[in-house]
Structure 1
Amino acid sequence: MTATATHPGPSLVWNAGGPYNLHQTLGIIGRGPADRTVRLNPGAAWLAFNTPDGPATLGISQRGTELHARAWGPGSGHALAGAPALLGSDDDWSHFDSAEFHATLPRLAREARRRHPAVRLPATGRVVDALVPAILEQKVTALEAHRGYATLVRKFGTPAPGAGSHPDVPPDLMVAPTPRQWAKIPSWDWHKAGVGPQRSATVLRAVGSASGLERLAQLPPADAASKMQTIPGIGVWTAAEVTQRTHGDADQVAVGDYHLAAFVGWALAGKPVDDSGMLELLEPWRGHRQRVVRMLYLSGFRKPAFGPRMTIQDHRAH
């Protein structure tokens, strides 16, 4: 363990300048309760990830509108530089919250925004870290995908800087594999983790283009999503799942999601719709469609619970 991991690391304070909810903002980054790369505790969050300078642990605590960040590891400087964007500093809700726009919103979204004025859209800037778990979620249940991702991170990831040596860092916090480490995972370990060959092959193609992928964080989200889809196996749904996290994408909607179109249809029209119907319903709020979807989820609305359930596949048995 390096000295930078065992002593208090460099710090940064960012003031949100208004209502702020740490957990609602960062909650979409983690991939299920077993994801060891993210820990959300009351009033605090811990994230571990790779940077161009090496792994980093980023600890964030909230004191009113102030967010206090501290980092450990070789990548601590890079992690701190990106902390404000991660926390939503570039996410501007002013147009969404304007009286004129607000009046156009569906009742559920309008009331949810009134109750949840403190949510921001985070921008991690880390494309591979968002893309790999999104690929693992293709055409399977979230439970199955989260289980596989957690299994692979535990076996092939590395302990987060400070984990086990600094009292404030969760001892089981881990950094996900680097692109090179993902590329070296044997086929049988993908199999044991319940990841089918189509998804594992897509991951391998993606990490083979890791340096180019990370540059996509500098592009507008729509351009980044378009370029991402030039990799075979990455479509509209996967790209949207990525840019929502890497860019704080306020507009991109996950077309092709197993549940989303029906959820939006029931919430806005009182009936299920397909993807084209969902996009038609959301079109009046283009530019803010992802914000509207987030508000619909935060409203507490649930679509009627009937219809076929998606079968959980267990690739490990074959």
Structure 2
Amino acid sequence: MTSSTRRASLAGADLLVPTGPVDAPDAEGSWSAPPGFELRSTLGVLQRGTHDPCTRVGADRAWLCFATADGPATLLATADLPPAAEAADHPAAGPVIRLRAWGPGAASAIATGPALLGAGDDWSGFDAGPRALLPGWIAEARRRHPGLRLPSTGRVFDALVPVVLEQKVTTIEARHAWRYLASRFGEPAPGPAPARMAIAPGPHRLRRIGGWDWHGARVDDSRRRTILRAAEAASGINRLGALALGEDPGRKLQSIPGIGPWTAAETLQRTHGHPDAVSVGDFHLASYIGHALTGRATDDAGMLELLAPYAGHRQRVVRLLGLTGFRKPAFGPRLAPLDHRGR
């Protein structure tokens, strides 16, 4: 490990250190995870960059700060491996995920913890069929990550806002906007959360943000208007979290102007653990899938054709591809976003 890598690793670890002693939670619980369960691989999709103010995920612990119907909550999930003796007697045993929560919404946070960790995500249909159709090097990712789960937060408005911020901009720009809005207009996370963690601003607070602050977040008028329209309809949007996938919550979400198939798919991947949601319209995904499965770029139609054999599990394939470490060829210079605030 190089000195620069070591410094980055230590900095990442520091982001998971609580501001106070981790004791006396307002509510707690646990979930017996499946063998090989990986906290980082499962919950990492919820984190928007290393310095996300609302979600911090490490290898054996995750901090999540969010609003519930009962008020704000800080949830800490830690993976406790079974003792060596127990593991020897029960080799198929997985880790126990200990859940602790603080704040007025602590009990609600604990109640949703297992679904958040992917307790309801069933890979048996994939393993019994489509998995056999995968190229060997991708199927190997499934063998190496048998405990990967797709999380279900159930919090649709919370998931929607950062996705809208990612519309048609670079990842750097989207993460800046999310950090700016959550840090500046969110409320401090309850309990012993790591420094600078916060509860993201809810619909009422977002509607009161002035134009200059949207400008400071580098959010253009199109994304701002979409977020404000969603804020107006937040109660209805949040009711979509209780709908089964068969009731097509994605189609209902797209009834709001500015929310299309890409935004709905990215949202449902997180709120419902949607195993088949493909982010059609993504700037990189079609080319990535094309290069991975055929060695050449393709468009959305070509991507859907390539993923057709895995219907019902296409998001699982995308997640497994990400775990292989595959990178498509890069061409051209990296985009350097412009900051117009001082102009």
User: For the superposition of Structure 1 and Structure 2, which TM-score range results when normalised by the shorter chain?
Assistant: over 0.9
Change (3 A) 1:207 1:292: same
Distance 2:340 2:140 in 1: 43
Among candidates 116, 133, 137, match of residue 166 of structure 2: 137
The letter for the 2-side match of 1:29 is L
Distance 2:331 2:274 in 1: 31
> Tell me, what secondary structure is at the counterpart of 1:49?
strand
Percent of residue pairs identical? 53
Deviations 1:82-124 (A, max 9, x none): 00000000000111122x4322122232111112212110000
> Tell me, what secondary structure is at the counterpart of 1:28?
helix
Mark the runs of 5 or more structure 2 residues left unpaired by the alignment.
1-21, 82-94
Contact 1:140–1:313 (CA<8 Å) still a contact in 2? no
Q: Which residue of 2 aligns with 1:204?
A: 228
Aligned residue pairs total 308
Q: Which residue of 2 aligns with 1:242?
A: 267
Q: Which residue of 2 aligns with 1:187?
A: 211
Contact 2:34–2:147 (CA<8 Å) still a contact in 1? no
The letter for the 1-side match of 2:121 is D
Mark the runs of 5 or more structure 1 residues left unpaired by the alignment.
none
> Tell me, what secondary structure is at the counterpart of 2:66?
strand
Q: Which residue of 1 aligns with 2:175?
A: 146
Change (3 A) 1:312 1:171: closer
How many Å apart are 1:77 and its aligned residue?
Answer: 1.1
Distance 2:23 2:187 in 1: 16
> Tell me, what secondary structure is at the counterpart of 1:149?
helix
Q: Which residue of 1 aligns with 2:40?
A: 23
Q: Which residue of 2 aligns with 1:225?
A: 250
Contact 1:144–1:313 (CA<8 Å) still a contact in 2? no
The letter for the 2-side match of 1:21 is E
Q: Which residue of 2 aligns with 1:263?
A: 288
How many Å apart are 1:307 and its aligned residue?
Answer: 4.3
Deviations 1:140-173 (A, max 9, x none): 00110001110111110000111xxx4xx31322
How many Å apart are 1:212 and its aligned residue?
Answer: 0.3
Distance 1:215 1:40 in 2: 27
Q: Which residue of 1 aligns with 2:148?
A: 119
Asked if 1:160 is matched to 2:196, the reply is no
Q: Which residue of 2 aligns with 1:75?
A: 105
CA RMSD of aligned residues (A): 1.6
How many Å apart are 1:32 and its aligned residue?
Answer: 1.0
Distance 2:73 2:263 in 1: 26
For structure 1, which segment, 17-26 or 233-242, has the greater mean C-alpha deviation from structure 2 after superposition?
Answer: 17-26
Distance 1:230 1:42 in 2: 38
Among candidates 32, 38, 48, match of residue 65 of structure 2: 48
> Tell me, what secondary structure is at the counterpart of 1:109?
helix
Change (3 A) 1:315 1:228: farther
How many Å apart are 1:231 and its aligned residue?
Answer: 0.4
Among candidates 313, 322, 325, match of residue 297 of structure 1: 322
Change (3 A) 1:315 1:28: farther
> Tell me, what secondary structure is at the counterpart of 2:279?
coil
